[in-house]
Chain A
Amino acid sequence: MNRRVVIKTESSVAAIKPAKKSRLPVRAWREQHLYSFFSSLGRLAARPWATTLTLAVLSLALAFPLLFWLLLDNAHGLSGTVDDARSISIFLKPGTDAEAVKALAERLRARADVTNVVVKSPEQGLEEFRSQSGFADALKVLHYNPLPALLIVNPRAASAGSDPASAMVDEFRRDPAVDLVQYDALWRQRLNAILLLAQRGAGVLAVLLALAALLVVGNTVRLDIQGRADEIAVMQMLGADNGFVRRPFLYIGFWYGAFAGVASLILIGIVEWALAAPLASLMSSYDHRFDVHGLSLPAMALVLAASAALGWLGAWIAASRHIALGQPT
Chain B
Amino acid sequence: MIRFEHVSKRYSASHDALVEMNFELGAGEMAFITGHSGAGKSTLLKLVALLERPTRGQVIVNGQNHAQLKRRRVPQARRGIGMVFQDHRLLMDRSVFDNVALPLLIAGTPREEIGKRVRASLDKVGLLGREQEPPANLSSGEQQRVGIARAIVAKPPVLIADEPTGNLDPQLSAEIMTLFGEFQQVGTTVLIASHDLPLVKRMGKRVLVLDHGKLIDDFRPA
CB neighbors of A among B137-170 (8 A): 139, 141-142, 145, 150, 152, 155-157, 169
New A-B pairs, 4, CB < 8 Å, besides A2-B171, A6-B126, A238-B102: A12-B124, A14-B186, A32-B105, A238-B106
Whether B172 is near chain A, meaning CB under 8 Å from some CB there, is: yes
Whether B109 is near chain A, meaning CB under 8 Å from some CB there, is: yes
Known: A239-B79, A240-B106, A328-B51. A1 touches B89 (CB 8 A): no
Whether B216 is near chain A, meaning CB under 8 Å from some CB there, is: no
B187 partner residues in chain A, CB cutoff 8 A: 15-16
Question: How many Å lie between the Cα of A27 and that of B111 in the bound state?
Answer: 10
Q: Are A241 and B156 in contact (CB under 8 A)?
A: no
CB neighbors of A among B163-212 (8 A): 169, 171-172, 175-176, 178-179, 182-183, 185-188
7 pairs, A vs B, C-beta closer than 8 Å: A3-B141, A4-B175, A12-B120, A13-B155, A28-B109, A238-B150, A239-B107
Minimum CB–CB distance from B59 to chain A (whole Å) comes to 13
Question: How many Å lie between the Cα of A48 and that of B155 in the bound state?
Answer: 39
> Smallest CB-CB separation from B27: which chain A residue?
A16
Interface-forming stretch among B6-14, B17-25, B33-41, B67-75? Answer: B67-75
Minimum CB–CB distance from A209 to chain B (whole Å) comes to 34
Minimum CB–CB distance from A15 to chain B (whole Å) comes to 7
Q: Are A239 and B76 in contact (CB under 8 A)?
A: yes
CB neighbors of A among B56-92 (8 A): 62, 71-72, 74-80, 83, 89, 91
A238 partner residues in chain B, CB cutoff 8 A: 78-79, 83, 102-103, 106, 150
Question: How many Å lie between the Cα of A275 and that of B178 in the bound state?
Answer: 76
Question: How many Å lie between the Cα of A4 and that of B185 in the bound state?
Answer: 20
Whether B53 is near chain A, meaning CB under 8 Å from some CB there, is: yes
Minimum CB–CB distance from A50 to chain B (whole Å) comes to 15
B139 partner residues in chain A, CB cutoff 8 A: 1, 3
> In the complex, which range does the number of interface residues on chain B fall in?
35 or more
CB neighbors of B among A65-124 (8 A): none
Known: A230-B89, A239-B79. A13 touches B108 (CB 8 A): no
Known: A13-B152, A13-B186. A240 touches B75 (CB 8 A): yes
Convert A4-31 into 0s and 1s, putting 1 for each residue whose CB lies closer than 8 angstroms to a CB of B: 1111100111111111001011011101
B62 partner residues in chain A, CB cutoff 8 A: 18
> Smallest CB-CB separation from B51: which chain A residue?
A328
User: Which residue of B105, B123, B156 has the most chain A CB atoms within 10 A of its CB atom?
Assistant: B105
Q: Are B182 and A7 in contact (CB under 8 A)?
A: yes
User: Which residue of A5, A12, A234, A244 has the most chain B CB atoms within 10 A of its CB atom?
Assistant: A5
Minimum CB–CB distance from A30 to chain B (whole Å) comes to 10
CB neighbors of A among B90-118 (8 A): 91, 102-103, 105-111
Whether A54 is near chain B, meaning CB under 8 Å from some CB there, is: no
Minimum CB–CB distance from B52 to chain A (whole Å) comes to 7
CB neighbors of B among A221-244 (8 A): 230-231, 234-242, 244
Residue in B105, B150, B169, B176 whose CB lies within 8 Å of A1: B169
Residue in A17, A18, A328, A329 whose CB lies within 8 Å of B71: A329
Minimum CB–CB distance from B79 to chain A (whole Å) comes to 4
A38 partner residues in chain B, CB cutoff 8 A: none
Known: A32-B105, A35-B105, A244-B106. A11 touches B169 (CB 8 A): no
Minimum CB–CB distance from B56 to chain A (whole Å) comes to 17
Minimum CB–CB distance from A37 to chain B (whole Å) comes to 13
A328 partner residues in chain B, CB cutoff 8 A: 51
Question: How many Å lie between the Cα of A29 and that of B111 in the bound state?
Answer: 12
Question: How many Å lie between the Cα of A86 and that of B8 in the bound state?
Answer: 88
Question: How many Å lie between the Cα of A238 and that of B145 in the bound state?
Answer: 16
Residue in A5, A17, A22, A24 whose CB lies within 8 Å of B178: A5
Minimum CB–CB distance from A32 to chain B (whole Å) comes to 7
Known: A1-B141, A1-B172, A234-B89. A13 touches B76 (CB 8 A): no
Question: How many Å lie between the Cα of A28 and that of B185 in the bound state?
Answer: 31
Minimum CB–CB distance from A177 to chain B (whole Å) comes to 88
